[in-house]
Structure 1
């Protein structure tokens, strides 16, 4: 293979830290997507059922919590009141 044709820069420490900070939100969004897909899939078997909707609401709430937590972490002590 011609390695000289591809120059890929490694992520910086700051970029890796940013991903690490966002990771809880990324996981929450993936869980939300899975819950949404389960609601859609449940329609094929006579649902969605109460537990499907409950799981969806919990996943939505978790995304909101994680987004707020990320905003707090990023803003730090300089956040407006």
Structure 2
């Protein structure tokens, strides 16, 4: 599951430009981050209103991937920071 902010999010814009080379993510396929909304969608992707919602949802959903600025994730249980191309956050 991909958990992200809406299209107006600055963090999402940076992610799209720097990590996805300007490409867009798959369209949102779940209104409430539940795979049951659209069971055949791969990957399931939802958009939430705040970074805190994104991180909390990703933390409690096994296998979910979310994004935020680094300072938001520093104390949350269940959140793992990823390295990209060998670069730590």
> Normalization by structure 1: what TM-score?
0.19
> Normalization by structure 2: what TM-score?
0.18
Greater Rg by CA: 1
Greater helix share, 1 or 2? 1
Greater strand share, 1 or 2? 2
